[in-house]
């Protein structure tokens, strides 16, 4: 159980980052990933 915790934590962080990115995209239609 303890072995799988870091992976779950990383996945949660990744999902959170994705959600933030999605929210930014919805807030600004002109927002682009590439600079």
pLDDT tens, residue by residue, 2-31? 677 888 999 999 999 999 988 988 888 776
Query: Rounded to two decimals, what is the model's pTM?
Result: 0.56
Q: What 3-state class would DSSP assign to 23? A: helix
Q: Say whether pLDDT at 35 is over 80.
A: no
Q: What is the pLDDT of residue 13?
A: 94
CA distance 17 to 1: 25
Which residues fall within 8 angstroms of residue 26, CB to CB, at 6 or more apart?
A: none
Residue that the structure tokens 């992976």 belong to: 7
Q: Is 31 left (phi over 0), alpha (psi -120 to 50) or beta?
A: beta
């Amino acid at each position: 159980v303890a072995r799988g915790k870091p992976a779950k934590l990383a996945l949660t962080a990744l999902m959170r980052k994705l959600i933030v990115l999605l929210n930014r995209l919805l807030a600004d239609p002109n927002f682009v990933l590439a600079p």
